[in-house]
Amino acid sequence: MNSFDTRESLLKRIKDRRRSIKSFLSSLEPAGTRLTNFNIICGAIATVLTATPAIGGKTMMDALGSSDPNSLTWRIPFATAALFSLLSTIAANLYKSHEIATRLGKAQACDAKLEGLETLLELEQITLKDSATQYTQYISEIPFVSDDSGNLLRRRSPLDWVKGEILEPKPNQVVENAIPCFAWVEGLGVGCHL
């Protein structure tokens, strides 16, 4: 294999890994946002329920039913506040235990590094050996991102296996009426057509 083929092979690997990272981010970011929002909302509701007797005092509790601390009027808001506080704690600990913020940050940083490496390779501003070393370093920072990130919970379609790229004409290249094309595709299975 000549150096052009090797360079193209490494570029293909980088692009594939960046697609995996984007898939990982698109599935993890919404989950992290949902847990964070759920935590905030549950914590706010717990605070309001707990603060109601303190702010409104005996008058507020009498308006709700009875100001006797043993009555249901007192017990229901505090029990509900405890439930929302528990839910808030669970959401916060799930977010923390799954290291969502850390994983998002590492994946985003790795994608940025791979984008820079891809650019250097395309412009031939880095040796093949150095780029392979950097590629290996970068992907070792994100062992939690697999090649098929985001596809773990859904059934794969035949298109999930197809990868390809148009190499000629280049983006923004001026072309004539007849366009010579150079491209590659792999994983084209039954029921898939170009």
Q: Note the pTM of the prediction, 2 decimals.
A: 0.63
Q: Tell me, what's the pLDDT at 83?
A: 95
Report in angstroms the alpha-carbon separations of 153 from 148, 149, 150, 162.
11, 10, 7, 19
Q: Give the number of domains in the chain.
A: 2
d(CA 108, CA 101): 11
Note whether 75 and 170 are same-domain residues.
no
Residues 105 and 35 in one domain: yes
Q: How far is the C-alpha of 141 from the C-alpha of 17, rounded, in Å?
A: 13
Within 8 A by CB and 6+ apart from 115, the residues are: 18
**72 lies in the same domain as 110:** yes
Asked which of 27-41, 55-69, 106-120 is least confident by mean pLDDT, the reply is: 55-69
Mean pLDDT, residues 160-181: 80
pLDDT at 88 over 80: yes
For residues 11 and 80, membership in a common domain is answered with yes
Question: Domain span at residue 97?
Answer: 3-154
Stronger pLDDT, 156 or 53, i.e. the higher one: 53
Q: Are 22 and 99 in a shared domain?
A: yes
Query: Do residues 110 and 180 both lie within one domain?
Result: no
Q: What percent of the chain has pLDDT over 90?
A: 53
**Tokens encoding 33:** 């946002």
Residues 69, 8: one domain? yes
Q: How confident is the model at residue 161 (pLDDT cuts 50, 70, 90)?
A: low
CA angle, residues 17, 19, 25, in degrees to nearest 5:
105
Residue 50 pLDDT: 85
How confident is the model at residue 150, as a pLDDT? 44
| The pLDDT of residue 151 is above 70 | no
Measure CA 171 to chain center.
28
CA distances to 44, 47, 92, 97, 180 from 89, in Å: 12, 13, 5, 12, 60
Mean pLDDT, the chain, as a whole number?
84
Give CA–CA dist 24/108, Å, rounded: 10
DSSP reduced 3-state for 84: helix
Task: Give yes or no: residues 172 and 141 share one domain.
Answer: no
